[in-house]
Amino acid sequence: MPYKTIYSSDLTTEKIRLKFLRAKYDRNRCDFCNSVNIYYINDKKTKFRCRDCWRTFSLTSHTYLGNTKLELRFWYEIIWCFAIGHSAYKAHKLLGTKRHQKVLRSYQTIREALLDYSQESWEKDMGIYETDEALYGGEWGNLRKYVKKRLREEGKAKRGRGAKGRKQPVFGIYKRDDEQVYLELIDDFSADTLEPIIEEAIEEESEIFSDTWKGYNGLAGLGYLHSQVSHGKEEYVSGEVHINGIEGFWGLSKTNMHTYKGIRKKNWKYYLKEMEFRYNYRDLDFDEQVDKIIQILMREPA
């Protein structure tokens, strides 16, 4: 066997297949003509043929797993490792795979599916929202001397919001009604960048709480009920006006990011959406999180 079975050792292959089948369909049907007049054409019950259009398809066709040749039991193990929070390298060691890259590519497939799901599942409605910005990246004091020297020469040694030249700026929206977050990578913190995201994600006339950053000054003019707390004056709570929800997420997600020892800039959006998913579904136990990820993977790619 090319890998060890850890989390699915008490499940038969048929039970695992049914988990993926139910995640894709509420009933068996053709991927092309939607007919229920289909039948299996292989012993593993993962290949089908339709009696109406006579086309063949697999259980994973038209899903995020469609381009992979990994068996479903292996995917179940990978999803469990991902849900628990193992890094790809640790999952590779636990499962005993020959190549680390196989697990890494599988993790990337999961993150790509989470990215698409985040954009499709966020509901724009009325409510109370908190907005804030953050910078993700290594602390200045932890950088090597030659890196600090290079950044100073490039003019990227600034602190605070000025550190966006060496860190990744992120904009976050926290929906108080159901305690969900929505994140977007941004290039800067200007009103021209923040306002279109807010208009796309938040229904007009909703209440928005923020700090006193100038990028939010135009929200009242866009039709929102806007209130602020001044952190510069050590004002953090004024009645129900505060942004403690989104700031709590920043602290939690940055701590969890330490699992990954360095992230390439092109992959930031995937890891960020992973943090968003973990937070939004934090009330699910591990079995439920695994089932949720299976449902997302068995959707048709955007």
pLDDT on residue 157: 58
Cα–Cα distance for residue pair 23/294, rounded to 1 Å: 6
Name 150's Cβ contacts closer than 8 Å, sequence gap at least 6: none
Q: Where are the domains of the chain?
A: 123-258
pLDDT score at 292: 96
Nearest-angstrom CA–CA distance, 290 and 296: 10
Distance CA 226, CA 257 (A): 31
Q: Which residues of 144-162 are buried (b: 16+ CB within 10 A; e: fewer)?
A: eeeeeeebeeeeebeeeee
Task: Look at residue 1 and tell me whether its pLDDT is greater than 70.
Answer: no
Average pLDDT of the residues in 232-260: 89
Q: Which residues contact 226 (CB under 8 A, 6 or more apart)?
A: 207, 208, 209, 210, 216, 219, 220
pLDDT tens for 266-286 read 888 999 999 999 999 999 999
pLDDT of residue 302: 78
Q: What is the mean pLDDT of residues 240-248?
A: 95
Determine the Cα–Cα distance for residues 194 and 184; give it in Å rounded to an integer: 10
DSSP state of 184: E
pTM score:
0.86
What confidence score (pLDDT) does residue 153 get? 65
Q: Is the pLDDT of residue 141 over 80?
A: no
Q: What is the mean pLDDT of the chain?
A: 88
Q: What pLDDT is attached to residue 193? A: 95
Q: Per CATH, the architecture of 123-258 is what?
A: 2-Layer Sandwich (3.30)
Which pLDDT tens digit goes with each residue over 62-91? 899 988 888 999 999 999 999 999 989 999
CA distance 188 to 194: 9
Q: Is the pLDDT of residue 116 over 80?
A: yes
Scan for tokens 């934090």, then name that residue: 282
